[in-house]
Amino acid sequence: MIAAPSVSYRYASPSALSSDGTGSRLSLATSGGSTPAGEVDSPYFFQGFVERPAVVAQALLLLARVARTRFYVPPNALAAVLRAADPVITATPDGLRFEAFSVCCGVYARLDIDAGALDIAHLAAGVTNVDVNPPLRQALAGLRPSEPLHLRVGEEELRVATLDDELVEESVPLPTRWLKGFAETQVLFAGMSLRHELSGIAVSRFIQSLPRASSTKSALWATHAGRALRLASRPTPGAVCVAGPERLRVLEPLLRFATGLRAYGPDAHSDSLPMSSAWVLEMPGARVTIGLSPEKSRGFSGEGALLTSLAADVEPEALRLVSNRLAFQSRIQPGRLAADVGLPENDIAPILGALASFGQLGFDFRAEAYFHRPLPMRTELLDDLHPRFSDARKLVEDGCVSDGGDSSYVVRSAEAQYRVVLGVDEDRCTCLWYTRHRGTRGPCKHVLAARTWAGHAPEAACTA
């Protein structure tokens, strides 16, 4: 089992909200981070006024609430007291993005503030963690809606530390599921489509119609009912899963600002199992995205969506070439990227999928494209976070995969033999994992081994 890595948040001072005769000043402290020029100690990303202070304040509070909430507690166990991981902020010329995960890793939250809703005095591209402490949350809750809000992310000048300076440093153990969750959600989002749109009073009616509590495996399905959405207990074509539906009620404090709600999900049919979904609440100059895992007890880290990307036959040199070309783009255009790096456009999609699986990309529904967001963590850790893929790679290296004929493969593992069929819409395997999950948690190690082997003939004798 991989030990949880520890990430140190080091802030020169706590984030704070202060007021004077001209308005309020929100100073968000940054911790390390990445910029196009490389690693920096004290990144200075943004300074300017926020056009809609109440929207931004309430949305930041929502993000902080998600980050410190455990929506599911295992039975017969007390909730561990965990330090919530600080939100991640990405700054680009198109605006600011804040991202966070719940403590249980089953809810993803993102706030996008458009550049058009910011009076920008300074903006530099980069990514880092920001401090959202309890006193700051209390101050944001008391912000007057009509009060001007000046926002600063990072320090404009290098501060010289003295014995009297306040240094905030916290060591946060980030479980592997948190690290994997950032990668999993973006791969899942890229496979979703817009299913429903609401506007006006229908947005509030739908969110407030959701139950306030549900059983562990409760999943409702949102379907069209005229210009509204109704909740059903069974899926139908075009329905969007609302698993653990009370989790979506975190949007309630923002409903007074809402101009629309869009629901995204994979293709559903009458016998679909619960699946992930994403909900985008539109507000003036900003939007909040909430991602829900298929069950309250399932974090995004276990969904296995990124394993197929890891098994894709992507040349390491091509991966490095594309990665080096990315510079915090808000909308990655495959055609233009292919021309820039001199690769066929068809080769770009699997490369982007692989980069997303390593936590280097996010997915924006409005742009229908990936955006570059290299997480401020040691990315080499991600190579060791996928034991299923590691097991599959070992099966291939040990010569345990062979051609089974009729477009099938034979995989030998632990003195057992499994038959794998790789299909366009679905891969199948005769193992117990596939029988239990039928692809809902990603491919089994035998399918991954078969996909990997398809272009790599093994030479060793099977010892697994």
What gap in Å lies between CA 53 and CA 34, rounded to an integer? 27
pLDDT the model gives residue 444: 87
**Chain centroid, CA 294 distance in Å:** 14
The answer to whether the beta carbons of residues 242 and 277 sit under 8 Å apart is yes
Backbone angles phi, psi at 253, to 5 degrees: -60, -15
Do 17 and 90 reside in the same domain of the chain? Answer: yes
Do 139 and 94 reside in the same domain of the chain? Answer: yes
What gap in Å lies between CA 47 and CA 174, rounded to an integer? 30
- Mapping DSSP to helix (H, G, I), strand (E, B) and coil, where does residue 244 land? coil
> Lowest mean pLDDT: which of 15-19, 317-321, 335-339, 456-460?
456-460
> Lowest mean pLDDT: which of 38-52, 121-135, 317-331?
38-52
Residue 142: pLDDT above 80? yes
Residue type, 307: L
What gap in Å lies between CA 124 and CA 46, rounded to an integer? 7
pLDDT the model gives residue 267: 93
pLDDT the model gives residue 437: 77
* Mean pLDDT, the chain, integer: 83
pLDDT the model gives residue 165: 46
pLDDT the model gives residue 455: 63
Burial of 191 (0-12, 13-18, 19+ CB in 10 A): middle
* Residue finishing a domain among 269, 300, 331: 300
**Bridge partners of 228?**
225
Do 80 and 153 reside in the same domain of the chain? Answer: yes
- Per-position DSSP letters for 165-209, written without gaps between them: S--EEEEEE--HHHHHHHHHHHHHHHT-EEEEEEETHHHHHHHHH
Residue 459: pLDDT above 50? no
What gap in Å lies between CA 76 and CA 119, rounded to an integer? 51
* Residue finishing a domain among 281, 300, 319: 300
Q: Is residue 104 part of a domain?
A: no
Range of the domain at 242: 181-300
Q: Is residue 459 part of a domain?
A: no
Do 25 and 82 reside in the same domain of the chain? Answer: yes
The answer to whether the beta carbons of residues 261 and 282 sit under 8 Å apart is yes
* Neighbouring residues of 436: CB distance < 8 A, sequence distance ≥ 6: none
Do 168 and 29 reside in the same domain of the chain? Answer: yes
| Overall average pLDDT of the 235-252 stretch | 96
**Bridge partners of 151?**
26, 48
- Mapping DSSP to helix (H, G, I), strand (E, B) and coil, where does residue 49 land? strand
pLDDT the model gives residue 378: 56
Do 270 and 378 reside in the same domain of the chain? Answer: no
Six-digit token pair at 193? 């489509």
Do 137 and 17 reside in the same domain of the chain? Answer: yes
Do 206 and 293 reside in the same domain of the chain? Answer: yes
CA-to-CA separations, 250 to 208, 209, 231, 255, 275, in angstroms, rounded? 10, 13, 18, 10, 19
| Overall average pLDDT of the 368-397 stretch | 75
Residue 225 CB: number of other CB atoms within 10 A?
12
Q: Which of 185, 193, 191, 192 is nearest to 356 (CA)?
A: 185
Do 143 and 49 reside in the same domain of the chain? Answer: yes
What gap in Å lies between CA 44 and CA 152, rounded to an integer? 8
Q: Is residue 274 part of a domain?
A: yes
The answer to whether the beta carbons of residues 301 and 311 sit under 8 Å apart is no
Please write the tens of the pLDDT for every residue from 400-429.
999 988 779 999 998 899 999 988 777 889
pLDDT, greater one: 380 or 285: 285
Q: Is residue 105 part of a domain?
A: no
Q: Is residue 458 part of a domain?
A: no
Please write the tens of the pLDDT for every residue from 333-373.
989 999 999 999 888 888 887 787 777 899 999 999 999 98
Q: Is residue 460 part of a domain?
A: no
pLDDT, greater one: 244 or 460: 244
Q: Which of 289, 243, 242, 229 is nearest to 101 (CA)?
A: 289
> Lowest mean pLDDT: which of 19-23, 37-41, 91-95, 365-369?
37-41
Six-digit token pair at 394? 């070992």
Residue 53: pLDDT above 80? yes
pLDDT the model gives residue 1: 43
Please write the tens of the pLDDT for every residue from 164-221.
444 566 666 665 667 778 888 988 898 899 999 999 999 999 999 999 999 888 899 9
Q: Specify the DSSP element, H or E, that contains 218.
A: none
Six-digit token pair at 166? 């306040």
pLDDT the model gives residue 192: 95
- Per-position DSSP letters for 294-339, written without gaps between them: SSTT--GGGS-TTHHHHHS---HHHHHHHHHH-SS-SS--HHHHHH
- Mapping DSSP to helix (H, G, I), strand (E, B) and coil, where does residue 267 land? coil
Do 379 and 391 reside in the same domain of the chain? Answer: no
Share above pLDDT 70 across residues of the chain, in percent, rounded to a whole number: 82
Please write the tens of the pLDDT for every residue from 257-270.
999 999 999 999 99
The answer to whether the beta carbons of residues 358 and 186 sit under 8 Å apart is no
Please write the tens of the pLDDT for every residue from 283-337.
999 999 999 999 998 888 654 555 665 555 667 788 888 988 898 999 999 899 9
Unique residue bearing structure tokens 């398809």: 454
Q: Is residue 356 part of a domain?
A: yes
Antiparallel, parallel or unpaired: β 88-92 and 95-101: antiparallel
pLDDT the model gives residue 319: 82
Give residue 157's pLDDT band: very low, low, confident or very high (50, 70, 90).
Answer: low
What gap in Å lies between CA 273 and CA 393, rounded to an integer? 29
pLDDT the model gives residue 366: 93
Q: Is residue 448 part of a domain?
A: yes
Residue 386: pLDDT above 70? no
Residue 281: pLDDT above 60? yes
| Overall number of domains in the chain | 4
* Residue finishing a domain among 360, 383, 406: 383
pLDDT the model gives residue 104: 86
Please write the tens of the pLDDT for every residue from 67-113.
989 888 776 555 454 566 789 899 999 999 999 999 888 999 999 99
CATH number at residue 321: 1.10.10
What gap in Å lies between CA 244 and CA 275, rounded to an integer? 11
- Rg of the chain over Cα atoms, rounded to whole angstroms, equals 23
pLDDT the model gives residue 129: 86
- Mapping DSSP to helix (H, G, I), strand (E, B) and coil, where does residue 155 land? coil
| Overall average pLDDT of the 442-447 stretch | 86
